[in-house]
Amino acid sequence: MTVLVACNDSPHGIAALRAAIAEAARRRLSLSVLVLNPGTVVPDGLERELAALPPGLAYPAVTFRAATEEPSDAILDAADDSEAALVVLGAHKRSSQGSFVMGTTTQRVLLDAPVPVLVVKDVYDLPEAPGL
């Protein structure tokens, strides 16, 4: 079983990656990363986070979304393929009034994922807890 994080090199993507790293370490599960930007190279911001993994957490399997695949389909397929126990996504505010409205990708994953989904807003600071 694994913690799957679907992210890109953005503030909410990095926040999701940090949360997924903390959850994988806490649950003693492996980490799997789906980069939502099509490509073959891990973006610099994500690579910096992955270079500082806590002790005991192995460097994760990294896959990339195909350019022709919808992000929500890629996330749901990756959750099945990795036998995820948890899916972690980043989200940001969409409304000028400050209310939190989910995008269609987040909403579809929340509704269709076969496992719990953790949605993380723009900022996530890794807690200073022993063992992390």
Q: What is the mean pLDDT of residues 26-30?
A: 96
Please indicate, yes or no, if residue 126 is contained in any of the structural domains: no
Task: Dump pLDDT digits (tens) for 78-118.
Answer: 999 999 999 999 987 655 444 445 568 999 999 999 999 99
Please indicate, yes or no, if residue 80 is contained in any of the structural domains: yes
Please indicate, yes or no, if residue 128 is contained in any of the structural domains: no
Please indicate, yes or no, if residue 90 is contained in any of the structural domains: yes
| pTM score, whole prediction | 0.85
Please indicate, yes or no, if residue 39 is contained in any of the structural domains: yes
pLDDT for 123 equals 64
Question: Structural domain tally of the chain?
Answer: 1
Task: Dump pLDDT digits (tens) for 6-23.
Answer: 999 999 999 999 999 999
From residue 3, how far is each of 11, 53, 66, 79, 112 by CA, in Å?
20, 14, 21, 9, 17
Q: What is the CATH number of the domain that holds 103?
A: 3.40.50.620
**Domain region containing 29:** 8-120
Please indicate, yes or no, if residue 63 is contained in any of the structural domains: yes
Q: How many CB atoms lie within 10 A of CB 44?
A: 9
